């Protein structure tokens, strides 16, 4: 393998996704070609309903494409079993959702430990790594708090810590600031930029032009197609 | 596999629990079902044991033969010839069939006057061989005895009374050692039978008759035709062959077709025991099924609540899947949860049922006509094992089917933000 293929984390070729709801078929993605390299911070923008979340689900292996070729970290995703997909999600992808999606009945620490439980990390190491990660997002004093005892911004920081727990190849965030006020949203955005500067690969879906400007590359989607794909000044 | 177990137990330990009210309801439903199945099975078991005991109280491995008529022609003779056995036929069979455990003959005199003091009771008197005491289970109450071989050889005027008859004649007095008159001949009472509940009855219940030596009977009543001959084998499975041999011997002696098994009317108690055995198995099966259905309803309750729980936790399941949980890690904690409620409910049910069953042992059975036939509800290890198996199966099913729905959750659509 050459250096360039090694750097390629996401490779999508002619990806289509059709939702078949029985009565109607919705073609959410109509042939996506997208490559993302290690260390990029990509913002995906576009109007509501344009297919951003669908794309994100495919990238994160939460769903499989109707047709097309998809490789993550050089591994083809077509034809793998449900359990193998679960393993890919566990090791290669870290998700951050708009609705946080923390488990409400367990503590922040336990939430961050969860992916490591699935990834067969030893209990002592889980604990250690989870508290370090929470410390890093500024929640070192909230380890034993339940999500309901945290603010929205704090919950999203727990979610980011959880996304980083398995040292994934790529962090995927679907409108991570959509449920936050602008100050909390700014904090979250700064955490992502910090992570990027530390060398992580990040894909963020966002409506907010102020946020997309911080990315190294902006991909615009309209009606299931990529209409523009540009590097920003900051990246240069 | 080790990781699997670790993950599953961990998820089970940290997964959210039912609201209290729901948990109580599920547990109560299972407990109720368990109590129902256990009580029904205990009732069936008690019935079986009691029927067994009552059946055996007549005597074990017995066949009773009455004089009757041939039903098949034999060597030019037409059917319908009477076959009558005599006292010496008892020795005839005893000598030729030493493999039998016992043979005895009975002579009967119905409505015979038994007088003690000013009181006269009309009752049934049997003249029997001394072996009758053992093979027909006429066990004496303390302070008395049954007829002995000497009584028979010496034609003694001794009498052994059924417990009901003894009460009729003597009331509260102690009968043993007293003298009473049988058709005006004096007899000494040597014993009174222990009370027993009897299933197989011929002639009449044992408690209502009195027995005297067959030799004494012959001397007093002058009859030597047996009313009944009874044989007893060592093992139940020997009875069929034994009866065939008896008919061969008597067929040769009284000249009838040895395959004519109605020349002597025969009651094979071994055979009828098998029938009652089958009936009690049938009854137990029926009770078991009714109980299992009740328990099944409890199981459906658990499954229902688990379905609701799966629905409520759809997002939780989707999140776990997004974080890399495999299907079995989603399924197993639900099954464990259902098993947990089933287990708690089952354990409660077993405790309650055991308490209830042991309470019935405080009801005195001796003078209780219902209980002396139905028996006392009894729990056996087999019942415990069967109930636990059914509980386990129901718990597994109640968890597995809802959990399969959980595992089929599509994480992408679950986590869509609307
Ligand atoms: N599970 C689904 N079933 C049917 N249609 C869907 C489903 N998910 C998304 N869609 C449709 O696909 C299109 C793209 O949706 P989505 O990817 O959520 O857009 P965005 O995130 O850009 O708002 C929309 O028309 C939406 O209604
Ligand atoms: Mg969306």
Distance A97 CA to ligand 2 centre (A): 10
Question: Among B244, B270, B296, where does a domain finish?
Answer: B270
Q: Which atom of ligand 1 is nearest to the CA of B412?
A: 1
Q: Which helix (H) or strand (E) holds A170?
A: strand A170-174
Pair B220, B86 in one domain:
yes
A86–B325 CB contact, under 8 Å: yes
DSSP A175-210: STTTTS-HHHHHHHHHHHHHHHHTT--EEEE-S-HH
Residue A149 per-residue DSSP state: G
Pair B7, B96 in one domain:
no
Pair B87, B166 in one domain:
yes
Q: What is the dihedral of CA B318, B299, B349, B48, to 10 degrees?
A: -150
- Helix ranges (H only) for B97-225 are 132-135, 149-153, 163-170, 214-221
Pair B125, B48 in one domain:
no
pLDDT of residue B13: 81
* Residue B400 CB coordination number (10 Å): 17
**How many interface pairs between A and B have CB atoms less than 8 angstroms apart?**
75
Span B69-74, mean pLDDT? 91
Question: Among B270, B299, B318, where does a domain finish?
Answer: B270
Residue with tokens 């009472």: B189
pLDDT of residue B94: 94
- pTM across the whole model: 0.74
Q: Nearest-CA neighbor of A34 among A55, A4, A50, A60? A: A55
Pair B137, B219 in one domain:
yes
Residue B69 per-residue DSSP state: E
Pair B248, B396 in one domain:
no
Q: Is the pLDDT of residue B172 over 60?
A: yes
Name the residue range of residue B245's domain: 62-270
**C-beta of A17 in contact with ligand 1 (< 6 A):** no
Which residue's CA is minimally distant from atom 1 of ligand 1? B413
pLDDT of residue B232: 95
Give pLDDT tens digits for A67-83: 999 999 999 998 899 99
CA triple B212-B215-B221, angle to 5 deg: 80
**C-beta of A148 in contact with ligand 1 (< 6 A):** no
Pair B105, B225 in one domain:
yes
Instruction: For chain A, positions 25-84, list CB contacts with chain B under 8 A.
Output: 53, 57, 60, 62-63, 82-83
Which chain B positions have a beta carbon within 8 Å of A174's beta carbon? Answer: 417
Residues B391/B342, Cβ–Cβ less than 8 Å? yes
Beta bridge partners of B182: B114, B185
Q: How many folded domains does chain A comprise?
A: 1
Residue A45 per-residue DSSP state: E
Q: How many folded domains does chain B comprise?
A: 2
Pair B203, B331 in one domain:
no
pLDDT band at B365 (very low <50, low <70, confident <90, very high): low
B213 Rama class: left (phi>0) / alpha (psi -120 to 50) / beta = beta
The contacts of residue B351 (CB under 8 Å, 6+ apart) are none
Pair B217, B294 in one domain:
no
Residues B193/B141, Cβ–Cβ less than 8 Å? yes
ipTM: 0.93
Pair B256, B298 in one domain:
no
Residues A148/A130, Cβ–Cβ less than 8 Å? no
pLDDT of residue B317: 92
Pair B151, B34 in one domain:
no
- A145 lies in a domain? yes
Which chain A positions have a beta carbon within 8 Å of B9's beta carbon? Answer: none
Name the residue range of residue A151's domain: 39-64+81-235
Which chain A positions have a beta carbon within 8 Å of B327's beta carbon? Answer: 82-83, 86
* Ligand nearest to C-alpha A30: 1
Distance A51 CA to ligand 1 centre (A): 6
Domain CATH code at residue A193: 3.40.50.300
Pair B95, B210 in one domain:
yes
Question: Among B243, B270, B297, where does a domain finish?
Answer: B270
């Amino acid at each position: 393998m050459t250096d360039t293929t090694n750097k390629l984390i996401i490779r999508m070729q002619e990806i289509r996704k059709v939702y078949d709801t029985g009565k109607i078929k919705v073609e959410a993605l109509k042939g996506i070609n997208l490559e993302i390299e290690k260390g990029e911070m990509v913002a995906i923008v576009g109007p509501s309903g344009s297919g951003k979340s669908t794309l994100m689900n495919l990238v994160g292996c939460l769903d499989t494409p109707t047709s097309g070729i998809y490789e993550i970290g050089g591994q083809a995703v077509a034809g793998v079993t449900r359990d193998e997909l679960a393993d890919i999600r566990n090791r290669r992808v870290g998700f951050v959702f708009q609705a946080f999606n923390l488990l409400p009945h367990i503590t922040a620490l336990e939430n961050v430990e969860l992916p490591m439980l699935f990834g067969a990390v030893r209990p002592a190491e889980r604990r250690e790594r989870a508290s370090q990660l929470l410390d890093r997002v500024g929640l070192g004093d909230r380890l034993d708090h339940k999500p309901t005892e945290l603010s929205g911004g704090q919950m999203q920081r727990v979610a980011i810590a959880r996304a980083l727990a398995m040292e994934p190849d790529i962090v995927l965030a679907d409108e991570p600031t959509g449920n936050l006020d602008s100050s909390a949203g700014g904090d979250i955005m700064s955490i992502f930029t910090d992570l990027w500067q530390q060398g992580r690969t990040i894909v963020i879906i966002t409506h907010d032009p102020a946020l997309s400007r911080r990315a190294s590359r902006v991909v615009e989607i309209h009606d299931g197609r990529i209409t523009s794909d540009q590097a920003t000044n900051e990246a240069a | 596999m080790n990781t699997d177990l670790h993950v599953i137990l961990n998820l089970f330990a940290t997964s959210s629990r039912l609201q209290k009210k729901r948990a109580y309801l599920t547990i109560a439903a299972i407990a109720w079902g368990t109590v129902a199945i256990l009580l029904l099975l205990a009732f069936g078991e008690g019935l079986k044991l009691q029927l067994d005991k009552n059946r055996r109280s007549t005597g074990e491995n017995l066949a009773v033969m009455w004089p009757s008529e041939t039903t098949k022609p034999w060597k030019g003779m037409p059917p319908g010839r009477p076959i009558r056995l005599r006292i010496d036929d008892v020795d005839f069979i005893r000598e030729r069939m030493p493999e039998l455990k016992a043979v005895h003959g009975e002579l009967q005199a119905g409505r015979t006057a038994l007088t003690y003091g000013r009181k006269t009771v009309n009752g049934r008197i049997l003249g029997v061989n001394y072996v009758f005491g053992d093979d027909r289970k006429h066990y004496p109450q303390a302070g008395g005895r049954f007829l002995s071989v000497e009584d028979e050889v010496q034609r003694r005027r001794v009498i052994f009374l059924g417990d009901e008859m003894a009460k009729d004649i003597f009331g509260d007095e102690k009968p043993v050692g007293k003298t009473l008159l049988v058709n005006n001949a004096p007899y000494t009472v040597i014993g009174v039978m222990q009370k027993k509940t009897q299933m197989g009855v011929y002639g009449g219940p044992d408690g209502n008759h009195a027995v005297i030596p067959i030799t004494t009977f012959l001397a007093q009543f002058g009859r030597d035709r047996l009313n009944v001959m009874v044989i007893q084998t060592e093992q139940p499975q020997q009875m069929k062959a034994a009866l065939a041999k008896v008919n061969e011997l008597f067929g040769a002696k009284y000249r009838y077709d040895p395959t004519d098994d109605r020349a002597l009317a025969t009651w094979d108690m071994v055979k009828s025991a098998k029938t009652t055995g089958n009936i009690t198995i049938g009854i137990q099966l029926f009770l078991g099924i009714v109980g299992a259905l009740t328990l099944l309803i409890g199981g459906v309750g658990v499954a229902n609540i688990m379905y609701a729980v799966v629905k409520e936790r759809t997002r939780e399941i989707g999140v776990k899947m997004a974080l890399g949980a495999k299907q079995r890690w989603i399924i197993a904690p639900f099954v464990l949860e259902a098993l947990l409620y089933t287990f708690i409910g089952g354990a409660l049910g077993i405790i309650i049922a055991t308490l209830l069953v042991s309470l019935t042992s405080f009801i005195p059975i001796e003078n209780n006509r219902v209980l002396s036939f139905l028996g006392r509800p009894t729990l056996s290890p087999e019942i415990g094992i069967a109930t636990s198996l059914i509980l386990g199966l129901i718990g597994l099913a109640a968890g597995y089917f809802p959990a399969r729905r959980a595992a089929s959750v599509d994480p992408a659509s679950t986590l869509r933000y609307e």
